[in-house]
Amino acid sequence: MKSALFVDFDNVYSGLRKLDPAIADRFARQPLEWVNWVIGELELPDHAPAGARRRLLVRRCYLNPQAYQRFRPSFNLAGFEIIDCPALTSEGKTSTDIHMVLDIIDLLQHEARYDEFIVFSADADFTPVLRKLRRWDRRTTVLAIGFPSAAYRASADLLIDPDEFVRNALGFRDEDESPVTGAADADAEGSSAAAGARAAQAMPEAPRPDSPASPPIDPIDPIDPVALDRAIAEVVATMHAEVARAAAPVPCSRLASLITTRHPALAADWNGKGSFRKFVDSLELAPLRFDWSNSGGFVFDPARAGSCMQDGSATPDWGEDQDILPLATQIHEVSGAPLLGPAEYCALFSIVEDDVGRNPFDLKETGKRVRDRLREAGHGGSRLDVNWILRGLLMRGHAFGEGQDRAATLANKTANNVRSLCLREQMILDRAAEATIARWFGTTPDPRRMGQ
């Protein structure tokens, strides 16, 4: 499959730098590593020819030489054509977008007939050109760091998950992640299974208040097929028992934690599947169903009243805040904000405040610790949910560790981020929506927003 790569360097580098300067530096100084990942490991977009392999025939990098001249040698060595796009205004605006669009349209009509156009940029100005490429039956792949608009996301055939790009293309894997390609599943809770397994060997499970204590089972010998079959059967029984005991859908994070504690050897690589989601997909669990659309996933029994919505997806249990769930779900679909309950958000912001008060902030390590403490407290929420919140704060310019990390401050900034994303997607925030956002994130309603 003949592909062309267009990199809006300023956009990608500045986005990564807001998350972690070390990640941005590796992107800028070692482009050949992530280019090889794009060629050899990145999945192909939908409707690519069967058995196709990516051939990267064009590599173009658009950068501002006044700010990023020091990175030019790295991209030269990686085989890129470098197009200088200096600042044209006092605000630093460059001509990158128009250069990229003109080059894309030029190659669209090239006699080589490029099959795939890969765009590294979160700039929604490229939405029209993506739509034009689709009309011409070309595949489009996009890497967008930050919070790209819904229209931009929908116009691409393949969106590269930024977390996957950081882990696998730039090599910032967690120490406890399996090195197997594609092992990390964006919707699953497998990224820290191995570390949890090692810790669980020395620590019995703390029984939940609403269930009888279950003693941990001895770790299995992964080579012994009989022991492996017995452990898997026990896992299946555990899932059915947890769902039967619970009054609402069970967060997958709770199940992953239980299995990690009771069967550490099995959970170390999820029986060779690499992630919790892929592991449970391999099991026969009928009539249980999994809903992966919200906050790390839920498992539920559709036959039980009140456990699922009309479309068959799991209904989270928000207790006394259940009345705001429908509108919060709409806001989640528009903005991408994790569909955690108000109590979970309250706990999350408090845990973040406590963690950054004790440890230097690091996006990867802080995210892991916060997710683990949420689990320990019995709350839902995946690593992706936590990272969404942390990335949103960083993208809005929040600087952790400078005395502004109170839970109330973090909640208010997150709510403002969600408001901005909703308005960008042209969702009207009326009084009901403003009241929902305030209750959802635990902030004080602003009378000016409420029309009072």
Confidence of residue 176 (pLDDT cuts 50, 70, 90): very low
**For residue 207, pLDDT beyond 60:** no
46 and 159 housed in the same domain: yes
**For residue 208, pLDDT beyond 80:** no
Give the chain's domain count. Answer: 3
Residue 88 confidence (pLDDT): 79
333 and 281 housed in the same domain: no
How are strands ordered across the β-sheet holding 2-8? 81-84, 55-63, 2-8, 116-120, 139-143, 158-160
**Mean pLDDT across the stretch 204-231?**
54
Residue 226 within any structural domain of the chain: yes
pLDDT tens-place string over residues 387-441: 999 999 999 899 999 999 999 999 999 999 999 999 988 888 999 999 999 999 9
Residue 314 confidence (pLDDT): 62
Q: Which of 159, 81, 93 is nearest to 120 (CA)?
A: 159
Q: What is the CATH number of the domain that holds 49?
A: 3.40.50.1010
Residue 183 within any structural domain of the chain: no
- Host H or E run for residue 16: helix 9-19
Please give the residue range of the domain that contains residue 18: 2-169
Measure the CA dihedral 44/50/53/57, to 10°: -80
345 and 389 housed in the same domain: yes
Judge contact between 147 and 392, C-beta under 8 A: yes
Residue 311 within any structural domain of the chain: no
**For residue 191, pLDDT beyond 50:** no
Measure the CA dihedral 233/238/244/246, to 10°: -160
Confidence of residue 184 (pLDDT cuts 50, 70, 90): very low
Residue 51 confidence (pLDDT): 81
Residue 436 confidence (pLDDT): 93
Judge contact between 228 and 235, C-beta under 8 A: no
Q: How far apart are CA 262 and CA 204, in angstroms?
A: 8
Residue 164 confidence (pLDDT): 87
**Mean pLDDT across the stretch 315-339?**
87
Residue 187 within any structural domain of the chain: no
* Token pair 């009084």: residue: 431
- Host H or E run for residue 6: strand 2-8
Q: How far apart are CA 441 and CA 436, in angstroms?
A: 9
262 and 354 housed in the same domain: no
pLDDT tens-place string over residues 270-297: 888 777 888 888 888 888 888 776 556 7
**For residue 452, pLDDT beyond 70:** no
8 and 145 housed in the same domain: yes
Q: Which of 312, 287, 313, 291 is nearest to 301 (CA)?
A: 287
201 and 124 housed in the same domain: no
**Mean pLDDT across the stretch 224-235?**
82
Better pLDDT: 346 or 255: 346
Residue 152 within any structural domain of the chain: yes
203 and 160 housed in the same domain: no
Residue 314 within any structural domain of the chain: no
pLDDT tens-place string over residues 342-382: 999 999 999 999 999 999 999 989 999 999 999 888 887 88
pLDDT tens-place string over residues 135-169: 999 999 999 998 888 889 899 999 998 888 998 89
**For residue 245, pLDDT beyond 80:** no
User: What Å distances lie between residue 156 and 116, 365, 382, CA to CA?
Assistant: 11, 31, 26
129 and 248 housed in the same domain: no
Better pLDDT: 204 or 260: 260
pTM of the model: 0.67
31 and 101 housed in the same domain: yes
Q: Which of 231, 229, 239, 251 is nearest to 286 (CA)?
A: 239
Helix/strand number for the chain, H first, E second = 20, 9
Confidence of residue 30 (pLDDT cuts 50, 70, 90): very high
Residue 447 confidence (pLDDT): 59
Task: Tell me: cis bond preceding 287? Omega within 30 of 0 counts.
Answer: yes
79 and 210 housed in the same domain: no
Judge contact between 419 and 437, C-beta under 8 A: yes
| Residue % of the chain over a pLDDT of 70 | 82
Better pLDDT: 249 or 176: 249
Burial 117-132 (b: 16+ CB within 10 A, else e): bbbbbbbbebbebbeb
pLDDT tens-place string over residues 55-78: 999 999 999 998 899 999 999 999
